[in-house]
Amino acid sequence: MQLFFEPRSVVLIGTSRQTGPGAYNNLEMLLSYGYPGRIYLVHPKVPDIMGYKTYPRVADLPEVPDLAVISLGRERVVPTAVECAQHGIKRLVVISQGFADADARGAELQAELVRLAREHGVRVLGPNTMGVLNPFSGFTTAFIDVPRDPAPAPLTMVAQSGAFQVGASSFTGRLGKAIDVGNACDLDMVDVLEYLADDPDTRIIVLHLEGIKRGRLFLATAARVARSKPIIALKTGRSLAGAKAAMSHTGSLVGEDAIVDLALAAAGIIRVRTLVELLAVSRAFLKFRPMAGPRLGVATATGAFGIIAADACEDHGLELAPFPEPLRDLEEERIPWHRLGNPIDLWPLGMVTGSFTGVFKRAVAGLFADEHVDAVLGVGPCFTSPRHADLNIPGAVRELRSANPLHKPLALLLYGDKTAHLAQVEELDREPNVACFNTMDEAIMGLAATWRYRQFHEAPAPGDFSLPQPSSRPLPLPPEEVLVGEAALNLLQAYDLPLVPGVLAADEAGAAAAAMEVGYPVVLKIISPEWVHKSDWGGVRLNVTTEAELRQVYLDLTARFHQSTPAGTLQGILVQKQVHGVELLMGLKRDPQFGPVLVAGAGGIYTEVLRDVARALVPITPDHGAKMLQSLKIFPILQGFRGQAGVDLPALAAALVNLSRLAVDYPEIRELDLNPVVAAPQGCWCVDCRVVL
């Protein structure tokens, strides 16, 4: 990976003979970027480009370059890659577009490229990439003129688009290395994270993710790297994921984006949802040590912005620290009516003393010194007018340099005329542990993200996210795409999932015998692969209390079935004991990125109405199962409140663990729905099950 960022020699294949506007000539950009290594060009026709001799074929090159950069039309990429491999080149950057993201032919070409690369032991970055940018060593594959930053930041951007390199000042503020993995046909986020783990130029990692390949390994790698380097991720495509169709409740309740949320959080990745947040959080990590706690001290020139700070703290999970009592003497400066608190409203004190700068400095110093304060927010005006030379926040901050031995973050929100704002922000951004933000929200979002990271950092390391080996299966799976009725219930039974007592009856007499066996009152249900939504279609009758009623209901149900679906297969009528309790849902969903996910939530008629679900990556422990239940909105009902008995939480947690085992052993299960699971003070019962393969 390192030689992708710092090749000693590079060959450019497909570079245009044109230069200047509209040419997107990567030789021109590489030269202007100040690359110190050896450059070769391959071109079939012209003898030289920009004064550099060209070679007609890769085989003609006088050495084996560390890296080849290909920007040919898509049909010529694979043959050229073969030439490179045959010449011994081990690393390719494929800029060319029109591959798997475009059409079927592109997908074929990409598969062929991967096959050849594997065969020859060649690693490929791209296709559809702008490649790498390394301002430290002076190397770039970009066909865009990105000026080389003379003071690169320790923040590395790993994206699926070149725009994040081109517009870094809008997206992460500052930038060091960058890599665009493009279609990630071979090299992906996992490879890049492995490399960045030990890269001395990287202290902070920002990921722009469209899709995630090798999901579990990605999480494990990220979790390991995040112990020492904060990883910020902008995962896009939230809206697209939401639109996917699903065949079960579990499927529709757990959008892919919710699983992304769960997975990234488990790996300690700081997810940002918007570009505003990306910029704010990047800035905070670039300038601040992570907050040691959630408590913020606010020194403000205006009470109004103290209230706005309190709102933002509530929005983003920070708290206002108690007022530092040693600062009480600020009050005694001639304003008996001024009540000090946190936020500290400094304006009246500034007016009376004639030195806002002075009171600001004392307040911030007091907040730095107070052990109950984890970070400081300063809000104040900035002016070019000489009439306000006394309002000098940059001056105060400079003088406070030695007053911050614990390196607490100082976030600043300046407002005033534009010229002063630009100048003072630039000046203040050079101070250590100080960062200016454009709005309150950005300041608080940024600080809060450092506190989230600190909590992850101090928690025990997460597991390795791997799936256990499947054990031998107690049952073979039938060939159907959807399992209902006995086939589904047998599977549950094999995993010790408690079933409500019931018998699948083939005729009226059998149903009557079944009811005697399980005991009245009973429930009757149509079991048929065509009647997946049997409740909605009137295929379920509750609370049948006598044999006469049962016989009537049996006839009604079968008549209804044959009338609505004359060609349907009626497997039978299920006669179950009617059980009472809180109705829950449990389920499984196989995520294309992260594999099996376990779900628990409110069930029965409340399923879709409440959408109250907890999720976890499989496998889980009983402890984890208990935590899922605790995180539900309906947990107080499960626990028992307002004089009602609670339900059997250990039995529910055990059922979740059993479901987790089942998910490991049957990877072909795409969705599984237990709804309802009836939970009572003693025990719980699965009443209905649907499995989608």
User: Binding a second copy by CB under 8 A: which of 10, 14, 28, 588?
Assistant: 28
Q: Could you tell me if 558 and 570 are in contact, meaning their C-beta atoms sit under 8 angstroms apart? A: yes
Least separation in angstroms between CB 382 and a second copy: 8
98 binds a second copy (CB under 8 A): yes
Q: Could you tell me if 333 and 354 are in contact, meaning their C-beta atoms sit under 8 angstroms apart? A: no
106 binds a second copy (CB under 8 A): yes
690 binds a second copy (CB under 8 A): no
48 binds a second copy (CB under 8 A): no
521 to 560, contacts with a second copy by CB under 8 A?
Answer: 535-538, 540
Q: What character string, x for contact with a second copy (CB under 8 A) and - otherwise, covers 404-433?
A: ----------xxxxx--x------------
Q: Could you tell me if 210 and 160 are in contact, meaning their C-beta atoms sit under 8 angstroms apart? A: yes
End-to-end CA distance of the chain: 39
52 to 91, contacts with a second copy by CB under 8 A?
Answer: 74
111 to 150, contacts with a second copy by CB under 8 A?
Answer: 144-145, 147
439 binds a second copy (CB under 8 A): yes
Tokens describing residue 236: 């896009």
Q: What character string, x for contact with a second copy (CB under 8 A) and - otherwise, covers 475-514?
A: ----------------------------------------
Least separation in angstroms between CB 504 and a second copy: 21
303 binds a second copy (CB under 8 A): yes
Q: What's the full length of the chain, in residues?
A: 693
47 binds a second copy (CB under 8 A): no
Cα separation, 186 vs 199, whole angstroms = 21
- Which strands form 270-272's sheet, in the order they lie side by side? 139-140, 131-134, 178-180, 155-159, 204-209, 231-235, 270-272
Q: Which CB sits closer to a second copy, 308 or 373?
A: 308
Token look-up 């045959």 returns 86
Q: Which CB sits closer to a second copy, 348 or 501?
A: 348
647 to 676, contacts with a second copy by CB under 8 A?
Answer: none
170 binds a second copy (CB under 8 A): yes
Span interacting with a second copy, options 38-46, 103-111, 394-402, 498-506, rule CB under 8 A: 103-111
645 binds a second copy (CB under 8 A): no
Q: Where are the beta strands (DSSP E) in 73-188?
A: 91-94, 123-125, 131-134, 139-140, 155-159, 178-180
Tokens describing residue 3: 């030689």
Q: Could you tell me if 16 and 43 are in contact, meaning their C-beta atoms sit under 8 angstroms apart? A: no
Pairing of strands 671-679, 689-692: antiparallel
User: Binding a second copy by CB under 8 A: which of 390, 399, 427, 429?
Assistant: 390
Q: Which CB sits closer to a second copy, 37 or 646?
A: 646
Least separation in angstroms between CB 243 and a second copy: 9
Least separation in angstroms between CB 167 and a second copy: 2
301 binds a second copy (CB under 8 A): yes
440 binds a second copy (CB under 8 A): yes
Q: Give the 3-state secondary structure of residue 140.
A: strand
The DSSP string of 661-672 is HHHHH-TT--EE
Q: Which CB sits closer to a second copy, 350 or 595?
A: 350
Q: Could you tell me if 552 and 535 are in contact, meaning their C-beta atoms sit under 8 angstroms apart? A: no
Tokens describing residue 453: 């990271």
Q: Quick count: other Cβ atoms within 10 Å of Cβ 154? A: 19
Number of residues that bind a second copy (CB under 8 A): 103
590 to 619, contacts with a second copy by CB under 8 A?
Answer: 605-606, 608-610
**For residue 297, which of 340, 338, 266 has the smallest C-alpha distance?**
340
Span interacting with a second copy, options 25-33, 58-66, 490-498, 590-598, rule CB under 8 A: 25-33
Q: Which CB sits closer to a second copy, 119 or 315?
A: 315
CB proximity list for 641: less than 8 A, separation 6 or greater: none
**For residue 302, which of 258, 257, 360, 251 has the smallest C-alpha distance?**
360
Question: Is the sign of the CA dihedral 483, 485, 487, 493 positive or negative?
Answer: positive
353 to 382, contacts with a second copy by CB under 8 A?
Answer: 354-355, 381
User: Binding a second copy by CB under 8 A: which of 225, 231, 279, 291?
Assistant: 279
176 to 215, contacts with a second copy by CB under 8 A?
Answer: 208, 210
- Which strands form 572-577's sheet, in the order they lie side by side? 502-505, 572-577, 522-527, 540-544
20 binds a second copy (CB under 8 A): yes
441 binds a second copy (CB under 8 A): yes
Cα separation, 651 vs 656, whole angstroms = 9
